[in-house]
Amino acid sequence: MKQELKEWIVTILIAIVLVIIIRAFIMDSRIVPSASMVPTIQIGDRLFVEKITHRFQGLERGDVIVFEPPAESRLYDDLIKRVVGLPGDTLEMKDGVLYVNNEPQDEPYLAEPILYEFPPVTVPEGKIYVLGDNRNNSNDSHVWGFADLDAVKGKAWITYWPLDRIKHWK
């Protein structure tokens, strides 16, 4: 009886340690609290965020990421946004179109025309420019500026809830 109890305790402790390691270094689960990524991601969607590949392969324009907001944002909870500008990119929003390095971007995931503009800005080294897909209702780089590359916690990997919106992200 004592041996069986000891085995159960060891098994439970190993499981707890594995969960802690996985959540800290490999993958985490997030619940989306706002409409800033609508229509791509809805309020209440649950997704897994993987924390490894961006550290080795870097980020690409179009990646949906979770990151710690910069102090300028006066926000404290992690944000989920789309990367639209990488270090060295020049971005401009005019006539409802995002331009990256003077090239208009095809953004079929946007729900409505963009109602704001911003002049050309160049993304500094160590920074990224992020926007929500719900551009007119998103607190993002067009409001508070650049996000730190080092503040990226991971990339959206799988939307797993609700079941009718399961999606594997690139």
**Catalytic residue among 81, 127, 138, 141, which?**
81
Number of other CB atoms surrounding residue 65 within 10 Å: 22
**Catalytic residue among 2, 6, 36, 153, which?**
36
Specify whether 36 is catalytic: yes
Alpha-carbon distance 79 to 66, whole Å? Answer: 5
Strands 90-94 and 79-85: unpaired
Cβ partners under 8 Å of residue 65, min gap 6: 54, 59, 80, 81, 82, 83, 130, 152, 153, 154, 155, 156
Three-state SS at 61:
coil
Alpha-carbon distance 166 to 95, whole Å? Answer: 34
Counting every residue, how long is the chain? Answer: 170
Specify whether 81 is catalytic: yes
Element (H, E) at 88: none
**Enzyme catalytic residues:** 36, 81
